Structure 1
Amino acid sequence: MSLTFLTAIERSQPLPAPILELGANDHAPIAHEPTGSGFSLDRTLGLGAPQIHGLLVDDDNLLGFGIYPGDRLIVDRSAAPVVDQYLVVRPEGDVEYSLRLLAPDPRGGLLLKAARPSIPSIVLDDLDSIEIWGVVLWVVSYVGHKQP
């Protein structure tokens, strides 16, 4: 599986002052344009906080989790993992990070399950044998049509 750690997350920018200064006569609102609710994607996702990072999904190895190539994962490095959350992990000896689902082991304890059933789960009986880089809080998907 391939994940790209994004070095910087693009931030939403405020509207330029000339647009904000337009009077009612200068700009007719569009009939279907929603009115302000104060929604901020940056605030919702926690972007800008030092513990929040973005990762890009590069391939289709996460389809079993419903995560597609091109999706962005918003990861919190300070969150404590809990069952049924996706974790960015690196087992001891591996050079690449991977995404796993933290799940209960039917025999007791915890497992890190892969998106593909053919990849064996990792039994979490020794937390020193695996690096938990962060907890995935959000999966951001683009569903529009790409421009040619």
Structure 2
Amino acid sequence: MSITILGPLENGGEKLPLYSFKVPAGFPSPAADHIEKHISLDELFDIRAPHVYLVKIEGDSMQGAGIYSGDLVVVDRSVEPVSGDIVIAALNTEPLCKRLHLRENAVILLSENPKFPAMHVMEGDELVIWGVVKYSVRDHDNS
């Protein structure tokens, strides 16, 4: 799996309507009187914060976590990573997206696809955590 860091968004996000009713997976007909408020996706995901950035995922090692090749993930570098978090990191300068597992004195980077083995961080390896994945976004036209 590889990643492409896209960086922060530029100014000028558009606010979209948020409807107050739950939408079934059918063909709803949203009416204007059901609009609760207008929201900005960059505000919802806190994307304009200086500690948040976007990464494009390439590869299928995180499919079990719902992160597919071509997805964008919203990464927060201000969050202290804990065991179980999905992180963007570099292991020996190789960028990756994995689930962080801390066990006693061991650090393990886990894929969410059984085709890929766990990566045990060994003495002498350099691991740099770039941030914790908070959200993922998928383009369903290209899935």
- TM-score (norm: length of structure 2): 0.70
Q: Distance in 1 between matches of 2:123 and 2:132?
A: 18
When residues 38 and 64 of structure 1 are mapped into structure 2, their CA distance, relative to the original with a 3 A threshold, is same
Structure 2: runs of 5+ lacking an equivalent = 17-28
| 1:98 aligned residue (64, 74, 96) | 96
When residues 84 and 127 of structure 1 are mapped into structure 2, their CA distance, relative to the original with a 3 A threshold, is farther
Which structure has more strand as a fraction of its residues?
Answer: 2
- TM-score (norm: length of structure 1): 0.68
| 2:137 aligned residue (111, 136, 140) | 140
Q: CA deviation at 1:126?
A: 6.0
Give the structure with higher Rg (CA). 1
When residues 127 and 139 of structure 1 are mapped into structure 2, their CA distance, relative to the original with a 3 A threshold, is farther
Q: Alignment RMSD, CA only?
A: 2.9
Q: Which secondary structure state, in structure 2, belongs to the residue aligned with residue 69 of structure 1?
A: coil
| Counterpart residue number, 1:129 | 126
Q: CA deviation at 1:108?
A: 5.8
Confirm or deny: 8 A CA contact 2:8 2:52 kept in the other structure.
no
Q: CA deviation at 1:44?
A: 1.7
| Counterpart residue number, 2:85 | 85
Q: CA deviation at 1:83?
A: 1.8
1:10-60 Cα shifts (integer Å, max 9, x gaps) = 652359xxxxxxxxxxxxxx8634413243321221111111000111233
For these two proteins, the number of residue pairs brought into alignment is 127
- Map 1:51-90; keep pairs closer than 5 Å: 51-90=51-90
Q: CA deviation at 1:135?
A: 0.9
Confirm or deny: 8 A CA contact 2:8 2:48 kept in the other structure.
no
- Map 1:12-51; keep pairs closer than 5 Å: 12-13=13-14, 32-33=31-32, 34-51=34-51
Q: Which secondary structure state, in structure 2, belongs to the residue aligned with residue 49 of structure 1?
A: coil
Q: CA deviation at 1:97?
A: 0.5
